[in-house]
Amino acid sequence: MELLKEKIKKDGIILSENILKVDSFLNHQVDPFLMKEIGFEFAKYFKNKKITKVFTIESSGIAPALMTALELNVPLVILKKQTSQILNNDFYQTKVKSFTKNTEYNLTLSKKYISENDSILIIDDFLANGEASLGAINLVNQANASVSGIGIVIEKSFQPGRQKLDLLRYDVYSLARIKHMSKEKIEFID
Ligand code: 5GP
């Protein structure tokens, strides 16, 4: 998606060879026009997949996921990051390792918001090692529902997440795929 790539080039801050900061339009301040275009792009790609719900992980995935859900005319479910384990039967949980914080959290979903007939589209802001996406997939699997697609705003293709999801044969659509980045420049896969 050209508009997104231009925005990353103009306003993204490369903190290290592994971490891109996009606080000015995605993670802290949010560009609503860009989010609307992102929602349109994901909805166009996944429109024939009979998606019943969009899932995302709090909090940075919410803006692009909400616009996608609006375009697809389905509810958005926000998976929660809990520090503690919930020991009752009303929730699905799985442990996820945070890429940016180097800690673990319990990704949590209320059983009220998923059923086995659901066809889920997972949307997230970044794909790095794939832990967050695999955690979301795990929760959907616990509910015996199906993951019909994964939409990623920014994929760092030099990290292993994409390959892991491809090996599991998920339909992954990333709007910007970064081949390589350094303090001097950022290269995309076309
Ligand atoms: P993964 O679980 O694929 O290793 O990492 C994905 C999650 O880590 C995303 O939900 C995102 O919040 C965070 N993340 C991974 N890489 C970056 C990055 O370069 N910049 C920012 N801002 N967040 C990232």
State the pLDDT at residue 102: 86
| pLDDT per residue as tens digits for the range 173-187 | 999 999 999 988 999
> Two tokens at 62?
């919410």
CA Rg value for the chain: 16
CA–CA distance, 91 with 139 (Å, rounded to integer): 10
- Share of residues in the chain with pLDDT > 90 (%): 93
The best mutation among 19, 26, 100, 162 to test binding of ligand 1, ranked by most ligand atoms within 8 Å of the C-beta, falls on: 100
**Average pLDDT value for residue range 79-97:** 93
CA–CA distance, 93 with 106 (Å, rounded to integer): 6
Ligand 1 centre from 106 Cα, in Å? Answer: 16
> Two tokens at 114?
């998923």
Residue type at 127? L
Ligand 1 centre from 154 Cα, in Å? Answer: 9
Q: For residue 59, say if its preceding peptide bond is cis, omega within 30 degrees of 0.
A: yes
Q: Whole-prediction pTM value?
A: 0.97
| pLDDT per residue as tens digits for the range 35-60 | 999 999 999 999 999 999 999 999 99
How many C-beta atoms lie closer than 10 Å to residue 5's C-beta? Answer: 18
**Residue with CA at minimum distance from ligand 1 atom 8:** 99
The pLDDT of residue 100 is above 90 = no
Grouping H, G, I as helix, E, B as strand and the rest as coil, residue 177 is strand
- Share of residues in the chain with pLDDT > 70 (%): 100
Which among 81, 99, 79, 80 has a CA at the least distance from the CA of 156? 99
Q: What is the DSSP letter of 51?
A: -
The pLDDT of residue 101 is above 90 = no
Residue type at 93? Q
Q: How confident is the model at residue 90 (pLDDT cuts 50, 70, 90)?
A: very high
Angle between the N-to-C axes of helices 62-72 and 32-46, in degrees from 0 to 180, rounded to the nearest 10: 50
**Residue with CA at minimum distance from ligand 1 atom 24:** 126
In Å, how far are 57, 78, 135, 183 from 122, measured between CA atoms?
9, 10, 11, 31
Q: How confident is the model at residue 87 (pLDDT cuts 50, 70, 90)?
A: confident
State the pLDDT at residue 11: 97
DSSP conformation letters of 118-164: -EEEEEEEEESSSHHHHHHHHHHHHTT-EEEEEEEEEEETTSTHHHH
Q: How confident is the model at residue 74 (pLDDT cuts 50, 70, 90)?
A: very high
The best mutation among 94, 101, 125 to test binding of ligand 1, ranked by most ligand atoms within 8 Å of the C-beta, falls on: 125
